[in-house]
Amino acid sequence: MVIEDEELLLEAITKKLKLEGFEVVSCTQATQALEYLKTLQELPDVIWLDYYLPDMNGLEFMDKLRQVSDWSKIPVVVISNSASPQKVEAMLKWGASKYLLKAEHRLGDLVNIIKEFTKGGDNHDG
């Protein structure tokens, strides 16, 4: 599951992940993502989360996630444009698995990191 409010970035990420064989649920808002989580047959292996979203920030999203025990087990990789030390510290404390800066990484590298969190990402052929 990818939550990213910038549509162009979301398109690039989705494209790349699909090319790598992932099944992708794309969301531009946090509330939309939470709705999907309620309805999805199978919970996502990993969540790609942008920190700043139109309806809530990363911390608020983590809080919502923690309220449902199944959801709280999903690894969350935060990929944001800004990473002040307080933000990173808070997010990791609230259960995020990793906090990465967007512009610092090639898409390929980010996808490789995502792969580490999926149960053998290769099996997820579309």
CA dihedral of residues 26, 123, 119, 63 (deg, nearest 10):
10
Q: How far is the CB of 13 from other proteins (least distance, A)?
A: 7
Q: How far apart are CA 47 and CA 3, in angstroms?
A: 7
Using CB under 8 A, which of 1, 2, 3, 13 touches other proteins?
A: 13
Cα–Cα distance between 4 and 12 in angstroms, integer?
11
Helix (H) or strand (E) holding 48: strand 47-49
Regarding 65 and contact with other proteins (CB under 8 A), the answer is no
Starting from the edge strand earliest in sequence, which strands make up the sheet with 76-80, in order? 26-27, 2-3, 47-49, 76-80, 98-101
> Which of 39, 41, 67, 84 contacts other proteins by CB under 8 A?
84
- Would you count residue 108 as binding other proteins (CB under 8 A)? yes
CB of 76 to other proteins, least distance (A): 19
Task: Give min distance, CB of 33 to other proteins, in A.
Answer: 19
**83 near other proteins, judged by CB under 8 A:** yes
Instruction: Note the residues at the interface with other proteins (CB under 8 A).
Output: 6, 8-9, 12-13, 15-16, 19, 52, 81-86, 88, 101-104, 106-108
